[in-house]
Amino acid sequence: MGAADPFILRNMVSADLDSVLMLENAIFPTPWSRDSFEAELEKTYSVALTAEREGRVIGYGIAWLIADEIHIANVAVHPEFRGTGIGRAIVERLLASGDGSCGAFLEVRVHNDPAIRLYKKLGFREIGVRKQYYQAEQEDALLMRKDFR
């Protein structure tokens, strides 16, 4: 599968949740619950997207638009489709959803080198470490910021 393979980025809907949860549970050691995703679909300040290819959910992202900032809360791409530009497209669309925002924040596992490289390519910079942010795994998170102004 290559970057030229077509995929659609669209708003996440309830009908996507089974597929999103399958990905979430396969990718993350401490996955979000169905209730968490359902809540995101209801929040007025939440942007929830899915990447779909041939009717199959292959990625998703969630961001919160709070005051004049964007907080990227969750991004995932099916392992089969990593490195094809889908993660980049999801993050770029999440960033574009915060029209008028002064910047964006995110946390990423300190050992997630592919994601850190992507975020740096998109203009994020490291601004700190959140100790044991991922409590169940006792893993630190790298705090990153991108300024728009």
Question: What is each CA distance from 25 to 11, 34, 62, 121, 148, in whole angstroms?
Answer: 20, 11, 16, 27, 33
Q: Could you identify the residue written with the tokens 């077509």?
A: 6
Active site residue ranges: 107, 119
DSSP assigned state of 80: G
Q: Give the distance between the most distant pair of CA atoms in the chain.
A: 40
